Structure 1
């Protein structure tokens, strides 16, 4: 018991700890009450350990301060943090999907901390409509009669069905009753919207006669086609093209809805991406087309609805339109992204998603070589080898599209690849890589040139044994956001420490 009294007397007072010069930087960046709480809890934990008999000595002042500063450093970290994507998956759902272009990022910055014309008409000095902010530019780029934006494509699906088919049947092929990320299923959202699902055809074969036979006057609300953007049915198959379905819809006086999901605006078949485009969907006669903003469009998370004005106007007036509306930052990014599509040729170079998808193998090989040279100079104890690899679009888009890429295989004796991956993930700016057998693969397709120095810093943090909690120093000279710049090889893993999750 006497020993415990000695140990307790050796504990520092909370007020004394709060005066320690090592807390100065934390006072500049953190609320004082949070620092006080952390110090009090740390000292309290030491006291509890002594009373419970699990502490056999008094920690030194330096040891106590190291413990407190480590806790404070961890508390300073934001939950939403920047990472370096070296997986080769362009639209990596776990990593935030599409990177915005410089123009879109700047547009967000311009309205983020200021007042803006979100719902204000400068000409009349009266209230305006946020629907009009992106409508004109979307109409110009797509050729649609009308357009609106909601917070994601799931919301777009819900709103379209609620506005056009509530209480009525929506005829859909069984082969198109898809499930996307987060267990979001088309049949489920139909039920929530108030529409009634009418399945037709078989899983692998659906004919136009199936739609015609399902039609009942006054009962059928619309025909719906869903692009199977995250899987393919091959072999003994048959489906109904949008042109056929649109012709039948026109004959029967029913709207035809096309949920195309990924929202590709530019034909990229030349680059190996065989996906339908938004403009083709309108040309083929769809009355309403809906797609995501943060997939192949390359913009922020949003659901874009385009089509005939009579239908879009009904959606704008629907009560769910307010529940699903987007904020000024999303609208700013959307407007800027669509504006870049006015010049389709330039958009492939300026919109990061398109630029990454269209990157040529020889370009990627050259970039991998440059990064390898930087890594060799900074961390000579590792082994490096330029490797060809297969990248993917990701984000539930173009599931059969294989992109020929290049990366750097990195390994080190006595350091298992799984452990190296974990250490890189704990770097000051985490580097997310693939694990391929006995080495990690740093894929350069999704890693911008301006991010190369930060990737080197991540390896340096491993080589120098930087604290796993990210307390090491880091040069941010080259750390600005950049917009230069996957089926995986056998044995490769993305996020090997995670189980499941949409990519």
Structure 2
């Protein structure tokens, strides 16, 4: 301990560091308080490292005590402190709708709409003709009803909020009948029964896990029933010995007993998925056409827009939701509405939507284009990394993600990278700490860069990151 005290005495005082020219520059750029906090942080860390280190490390000068090195650490502390926590990343995982990475990318028209609205006052809640207060939902109501065939539309901040609002407005203190096999978990450990409990509705389960019949619903209907709820299992599939009641039949049952039928589509989609070679997924138009009174779905999944919970259906039921106090709690802001309106307008021309909405475009990239893109990336990487790295192109599969098409795999091409001496986890960590952060997937101690989700303009940044981190491995 005596020897360590000698090293502890070598640590510069806070005032010694404050007196340097570099710190004066940092104070001008940041603030005196923040610079002092940075110096104390660096000194505390150094003191802790000295106390924990063995003498051999100290004697070999593996722990830097020089003022110049400490100032570099202070500068890095200030850079990190001033950097945004929420930042753009390069998604090389191959998961198109990646929840942890922000789900869908916005189309260029949606980006421009957000930029335009963010730099001006807007017509968010004002009627231009009368000059009086208007409704923020009017900006997307007409186009949603046009695209879906519904009578009315409403937008809240996510699909869980949409379901909660529908249940609260239409079935508070009443029974909601739902098939036992549809009591799904919707992400983040939130489950449909918990959402129903918050709404004040009383859960009535019918059928078994794998089978439910129309008679099960009808037997459960009483004077206390508020609505019939159908939840589309978009994030998993029950295979084999199964039976589900068709929405059209459930809608007829609801009409017979004058009960609203609400369908939670989850991901939600406005175009025919079979055109891409995927399995059939019910569209919002299908649900409205089959008689659902209320349909809820997400804005930032298969739709390819901003985070939002979209509600379409019969006007008399949506009017109740609009008047409900919870609607104020879960309402959306002007940026969401601007991005959503621009996204929905792309759907007026389906061919244009496939080209302009990134989520749809990534679903439809031809295999030969992905292969060519992989070859270009591998060649560019090979030019900047050492011979200790191994590179290869191989065929693999991408995922759609976002709780949609859980069984579907999209053929893709990946660039596989491994190092003779350094594990894939270590390289992946360095890439995550890059600016911009780069997220990949790991298979058999190699990094896989899936070209399906890497944007063209991100390729040079990815190559530059590998060049910067690979030397010295």
Shared fold per TM-score greater than 0.5: yes
- 1:132-151 equivalences under 5 Å are 132-151=138-157
1:490 corresponding residue in structure 2: none
| CA pair 82-23 structure 1, distance change in 2 beyond 3 A | farther
1:267 corresponding residue in structure 2: 272
Aligned partner of residue 148 in structure 1, secondary structure: strand
Preserved contact between residue 14 and residue 39 of structure 1 (Cα < 8 Å):
no
Separation of aligned partners in 2, 1:223 and 1:132: 28
1:204 corresponding residue in structure 2: 210
Preserved contact between residue 18 and residue 39 of structure 1 (Cα < 8 Å):
no
For residue 348 of structure 1, report the CA deviation from its aligned partner: 0.9
2:21 corresponding residue in structure 1: 20
Aligned partner of residue 223 in structure 1, secondary structure: strand
2:258 corresponding residue in structure 1: 253
1:369 corresponding residue in structure 2: 375
Aligned partner of residue 231 in structure 1, secondary structure: coil
Correspondent of 2:295 among 275, 278, 289 = 289
| CA pair 457-315 structure 1, distance change in 2 beyond 3 A | same
Separation of aligned partners in 2, 1:404 and 1:49: 49
Aligned partner of residue 248 in structure 1, secondary structure: helix
Aligned partner of residue 265 in structure 1, secondary structure: coil
- 1:278-357 equivalences under 5 Å are 278-357=284-363
Separation of aligned partners in 1, 2:83 and 2:90: 16
Runs (5+) with no aligned partner, structure 1: 467-503
Please say if 1:396 is aligned against 2:403.
yes
Separation of aligned partners in 2, 1:4 and 1:417: 40
1:449 corresponding residue in structure 2: 456
For residue 9 of structure 1, report the CA deviation from its aligned partner: 8.1
Separation of aligned partners in 2, 1:180 and 1:234: 19
Separation of aligned partners in 1, 2:11 and 2:447: 47
| CA pair 22-93 structure 1, distance change in 2 beyond 3 A | same
Please say if 1:430 is aligned against 2:431.
no
Runs (5+) with no aligned partner, structure 2: none
Preserved contact between residue 379 and residue 459 of structure 1 (Cα < 8 Å):
yes
Preserved contact between residue 14 and residue 43 of structure 1 (Cα < 8 Å):
no
Separation of aligned partners in 1, 2:391 and 2:45: 45
For residue 4 of structure 1, report the CA deviation from its aligned partner: 6.4
Preserved contact between residue 387 and residue 408 of structure 1 (Cα < 8 Å):
yes
2:34 corresponding residue in structure 1: 34
Number of aligned residue pairs: 464
Instruction: Tell which deviates more after alignment, 280-289 or 32-41.
Output: 32-41
| CA pair 113-459 structure 1, distance change in 2 beyond 3 A | same
RMSD (Å) for aligned C-alpha atoms: 2.6
Aligned partner of residue 121 in structure 1, secondary structure: coil
Separation of aligned partners in 2, 1:124 and 1:346: 35
- Normalised TM-score (structure 2): 0.91
For residue 280 of structure 1, report the CA deviation from its aligned partner: 0.9
Aligned partner of residue 181 in structure 1, secondary structure: coil
Separation of aligned partners in 2, 1:66 and 1:225: 59
1:237 corresponding residue in structure 2: 242
Correspondent of 1:128 among 112, 115, 134 = 134
For residue 236 of structure 1, report the CA deviation from its aligned partner: 0.8
1:11 corresponding residue in structure 2: 12
Preserved contact between residue 11 and residue 47 of structure 1 (Cα < 8 Å):
no
Instruction: Tell which deviates more after alignment, 411-420 or 274-283.
Output: 411-420
Separation of aligned partners in 1, 2:107 and 2:27: 34
Please say if 1:358 is aligned against 2:336.
no
Separation of aligned partners in 2, 1:436 and 1:49: 35
For residue 33 of structure 1, report the CA deviation from its aligned partner: 2.6
